[in-house]
Structure 1
Amino acid sequence: MTLLKTLPKSKRATVWVFPGQGSQKLGMGLDLQKFPLGKLRLQQAEDLLGWSISDVWQSENTKLSNTQYTQPCLYVFMTLLADLMKQSGYGPDLVTGYSFGEYVALYTAGAYDFETGLKLIKKRAEIMSRLPQGSMATLIGFEVDKLREEVFKTSDVWLANDDTKYAVISGTSQGIASILSNVPVERVIPLEVSAAFHTPLVEPAAKEFQAVLETTSFDALSIPVLSSTNFVFSLSINQVKESLVQQISQSVKWQMISKTLINQGVRKAIQIGCGQGLLKPMKNLAPELEISNVGSTADIDSLVIRDQLKKLFMLNSEAIKR
């Protein structure tokens, strides 16, 4: 097993991070359909899945929040953005993902091709869609100790992340309602999910999916992937597969992941997908960190223009010095 415990700061400066389920937005990916690669991938996905990704992207919000559809939609969306970024001359030194986002990180690192990854996601989504109904919610503005105390006392509710500012609770709808009735919270944001992910309630799905992973061949990784469960930079396929099983029922410790990235010399972070939710904790830890979000082809164009202007400015500065 090959583990990279440290990253050379001069060579491992840029990380691409990929958000998980709940980050989906109605209308995402519509601009990708006009590109040849987008058309190809959407047709490949429809042939494999038996339904249209673009239709769900565009107008079917109920389906988009259903696990069986959410995960393939996010996979196609984010892998397309990652490939278009590479076509524009960009590439990460390492990758990581929040829960489901780890699968897109692995695709970006070369663990499997598009169709192999989509088959894996299809099976994962089918398994998880059979789970009992559950709920998840992000809480903003609360007393940390009070929340932890109530979660500890309440059955069938767990903290699904390690953020003390934006806590995520996961469990049964009744359990979450009990928490919200006992803990004053400034803002509650229900997540568009259909089960209580990152809790013991989904362990049966993790065990079933483990068998699927064991029969799926992965290619050698071209760049390190930061594991979301043990926080090591890995090039080991066995280590990666173990993490994919564990992360289904374990809480997501994004604060710890962020600290690991910053401590190991990451100086630039790009979130591929909707929003900047993964970048904010990193920026709070390291205000000097350069962050960008790529959620559309327009964002890629803006990134290219910005970097071209930066290079032009540097060239002009060097010319003036001479």
Structure 2
Amino acid sequence: MKAYVFPGQGAQFTGMGKDLYDQFPEAKALFNKADEILGFEISKIMFEGTAEELKETKVTQPAIFLHSVILAKMMGDSFQPEMVAGHSLGELSALTAVGTLSFEDGLKIVSKRALAMQAACEHQSSTMAAILGLDDAVVEDVCKSIDGVVVAANYNCPGQLVISGATKAVEEACEALKEKGAKRALMLPVGGAFHSPLMEPAREELAAAIEATEFEAPSCPVYQNVTTLGTTAVDEIKTNLIYQLTGPVKWTQSVQNMIADGATEFIEVGPGRALQGMIKKINREANVSAGVVSE
């Protein structure tokens, strides 16, 4: 079975989507529509912006969403998913690609999500750190032992877990994890503590936006970050999407469940190759590739 996967924040690069814009009139129209919906020229920033400009949360999230969703649309009949998943923000790209959200509604939710997360980051000093070379259980135990908010946030692949929380608590956890034998405990250049309880204000704002938006049943099961299970039930999809902001991205477990349910081929749709690398580390036998447009 073919599984299509959609990347999250961090996959952006200058020039992303320009080939689609130049090659397909339909893609050009969608980029122009996105500029209109967002009220600024995101296409110009995607095609010509600096790495710094692209790193702004209000830009990064819609940019990755647009690249992924427009690429999926330009793949035409070759885009035939039997299951999909997205890493964090990528879950909204996946839901739009399989018809749960319209292009316009998907983009509006992504933009609101980005702005709400940005605002939540400004409430208190918070950050994330990548922990390499330890079992998940060891990382979880150390996080629980720290005074202050720090939690396991992204289960990317075996031996790579990202923690998230208040800056002081994350720093303390990094020191404790190095003592436990972590190969690396690396502070990440992010705006705040995504996928942690510190995103609660953003979750409430996102919940209101999601409840006010029309969702359709997807054309195939969507494996969601929070539950790691495939579903086509609209109410479940909405609930899981809301809780994803304060809950962990269980990518390792989601990919394992997709394989258990019959996934034999993983196609990454969007910028970068990060998910292909993670999937190979989760299962060396997995067949991975990048989504390409139909000629």
TM range (shorter): 0.7 to 0.9
Instruction: Supply the AA of the counterpart residue of 1:183.
Output: L
What is the Cα deviation at residue 74 of structure 1?
A: 1.1
Q: Quick check: 2:87–2:251 contact (8 Å CA) kept in 1?
A: yes
What is the Cα deviation at residue 277 of structure 1?
A: 2.8
Q: Does 1:40 align with 2:34?
A: no
Q: Which residue of 1 aligns with 2:264?
A: 267
Q: Structure 1's 43 and 200: CA in aligned 2 closer, same or farther, altered over 3 A?
A: same
Q: Does 1:141 align with 2:130?
A: no
Q: Distance in 2 between matches of 1:144 and 1:76?
A: 33
Q: Structure 1's 249 and 183: CA in aligned 2 closer, same or farther, altered over 3 A?
A: same
Q: Which residue of 1 aligns with 2:49?
A: 59
RMSD after superposition = 2.3
Q: Distance in 1 between matches of 2:253 and 2:137?
A: 19
Give the one of 213, 230, 234 matched to 1:237.
Answer: 234
Q: Does 1:30 align with 2:30?
A: no
Q: Distance in 2 between matches of 1:18 and 1:192?
A: 21
Q: Quick check: 1:22–1:193 contact (8 Å CA) kept in 2?
A: no
Give the one of 190, 193, 204 matched to 1:193.
Answer: 190
Q: Distance in 2 between matches of 1:272 and 1:256?
A: 20
- Counting only pairs closer than 5 Å after superposition, residues 199-278 of structure 1 correspond to structure 2 as 199-278=196-275
What is the Cα deviation at residue 208 of structure 1?
A: 2.1
Unaligned runs of 5+ in 1: 1-12, 305-322
Q: Does 1:151 align with 2:143?
A: yes
Q: Which residue of 2 aligns with 1:307?
A: none
Q: Which residue of 2 aligns with 1:8?
A: none
Question: Normalization by structure 2: what TM-score?
Answer: 0.87
Q: Which residue of 2 aligns with 1:82?
A: 72
SS in 2 for 1:45: helix
Q: Distance in 2 between matches of 1:14 and 1:300?
A: 16
Q: Deviations over 1:38-88 (max 9, x none)?
A: 21111101111111122322323333222211111111111111111225x
What is the Cα deviation at residue 285 of structure 1?
A: 4.5
Matched residues, number: 285
Structure whose alpha-carbon radius of gyration is higher: 1
Q: Structure 1's 183 and 230: CA in aligned 2 closer, same or farther, altered over 3 A?
A: closer
Q: Quick check: 1:68–1:128 contact (8 Å CA) kept in 2?
A: no
Q: Structure 1's 148 and 229: CA in aligned 2 closer, same or farther, altered over 3 A?
A: closer
Q: Deviations over 1:211-231 (max 9, x none)?
A: 111110112322221222223
Unaligned runs of 5+ in 2: none
Q: Which residue of 1 aligns with 2:168?
A: 174
Q: Structure 1's 203 and 77: CA in aligned 2 closer, same or farther, altered over 3 A?
A: same
